[in-house]
Amino acid sequence: MNYQTFGNTGLRVSELALGTGNFGTGWGYGADPDSSAAIFNAYAEAGGNFIDTADIYQFGQSEELLATLLEGRRDDFVLATKFTNGAAASPNRLATGNSRRALVSSAEASLRRLKTDRIDIYWAHHPDGVTPVEEIVRGFEDLARAGKILYAGLSNFPAWRLSRAVTLAELTHALPIAAAQFEHSLVHREPEADLFQASYALGLGIVTWSPLGGGMLTGKYRQGEKGRAEGFGGKVFQAENSPQRSLILDTVLEIAGEIGVSAGQVAIAWAGTHGSIPIIGPRSKQQLTDNLGALSVNLTHEQICKLDAVSSVVPSAPLRLSGYEADRSRARVVA
C-alpha cells in the first residue's frame, strides 16, 4: 500500500480508506462482528491506515465494533468519524443537524463508543440547511482546543459552502478545514466541475465515496444480485438506468477482460487517478480482497481516456470555455 500526504496537513494516509458503514447489522444489512474483524484485519495487514466511519452507521454499531478492533493499536490508524444524523433510528432532535450543540454532544458520544480520547478527522456529514458555517467552524475550533479532535472536514457540502467555511476558518484563525468528502465514480462525475477544483485550490485532502457506484460498476446486478440495490433501501446506489450508464459498464467490463482483473478493480483504479483517497466499503473479506486488487491495476493512458470519454458529462460554461480536463497530477505519494 502506498501513502499520500493528506492535503496541506502532515498526515500520511493509505491510498484507499476503509469505510465501515457495513460494520454491524443495526440497519438490517451489514457484516456481523466476526466478518467485520476479518475485513478490518485484512485491510490492516495490507498496509491500510485510514478508517472512515460515522455515528449513524448501523446506529452506532460501527463505532462500537471499531473500538474493539482498534484496541492496542489505536495509534496505527487515522480514525475519522462524522456527525449530523445521530446514532439512533429516532435520535433526539438536539443530537441531529450541525448546530454547535449537536456537534459537541455527538463528538462526546462518538468518543465514548470508540473508546478513544480523540478523533483524528471529524466530519460534518452533510449540510442541515439551517446552521451557518460560522457556527460549524467555531464548534470545530472548540473541540480542537479541548483536545477532542485533530482535524476537521466537510462531507457532502456544495463547493460554495466548502469554500466559505475554509475562508472563515482562515480569517478567524480557527481550526482549518482540512478536508472534503463527496461521492465520485464513473457514474457520478459531477464533482469534477466544482468540488475537485475547489479542493485542489484550497489545498484540502480529498476523500471520495462509492467508487463502485454502490456496486453497479462491478456488473453484479446484471447477474441478478441485489446488494445495495435493496440492502440499504436502495440508498447509496447508482442504477444502470440510462444508455450512457450501460455503455460505461460495458466499457469497464471490456477493459477488465483485456487486462484480466475484475470490473470493480478497474472502477476503483480509475477513481484513484484524480488525487483523491477513494473509500471502499466491503461487506465481506472476499469483497475487500477484490477491492484491494485495484492497487495493482495500472490503467494505460488509452484506457483512462476511453473511460473518460464514455462517462463524460457536459461541463458548465466556465469550465467548458477554459478547456477543462480532469486533473490527475494531485496525488503526492510518500514512503
Indicate if the pLDDT at residue 322 is higher than 90: no
pTM comes to: 0.93
Cβ-in-10-Å burial (0-12, 13-18, 19+) of 302 comes to exposed
**pLDDT, tens only, 235-268:** 677 887 889 999 999 999 999 999 999 999 999 9
Pairwise CA distance, residues 37 & 40, whole Å: 5
Number of residues that make up the chain: 335
Helices and strands (H and E) in the chain: how many: 12, 11
Q: Which helix (H) or strand (E) holds 178?
A: strand 177-183
Q: Three cell numbers at 196?
A: 475537485
Is residue 153 within 8 A of residue 177, CB to CB? The reply is yes
d(Cα 41, Cα 11) in Å, to the nearest integer? 22
Q: d(Cα 250, Cα 92) in Å, to the nearest integer?
A: 46
What digits encode the pLDDT tens for the residues 39-59?
Answer: 999 999 999 999 999 999 999
Residue 128, number of CB atoms within 10 A of its CB: 15
The 8-class DSSP code of residue 335 comes to -
pLDDT tens-digit readout, 259-317:
999 999 999 999 999 999 999 999 999 999 999 999 999 999 999 999 999 999 876 65
| Residue positions annotated with a catalytic role | 57
Q: According to the model, what pLDDT value does residue 332 have?
A: 47
Convert 105-123 to b/e letters by CB count within 10 Å (16 or more is b): bbbebbbebbebebbbbbb
Kindly report, residue by residue over 96-137, the tens digit of the pLDDT.
999 999 999 999 999 999 999 999 999 999 999 999 999 999
The predicted structure's pLDDT at residue 264 = 98
CATH of domain 3-325: 3.20.20.100
Cα distance between residue 43 and residue 53, in whole Å: 15
Amino acid of residue 101: R
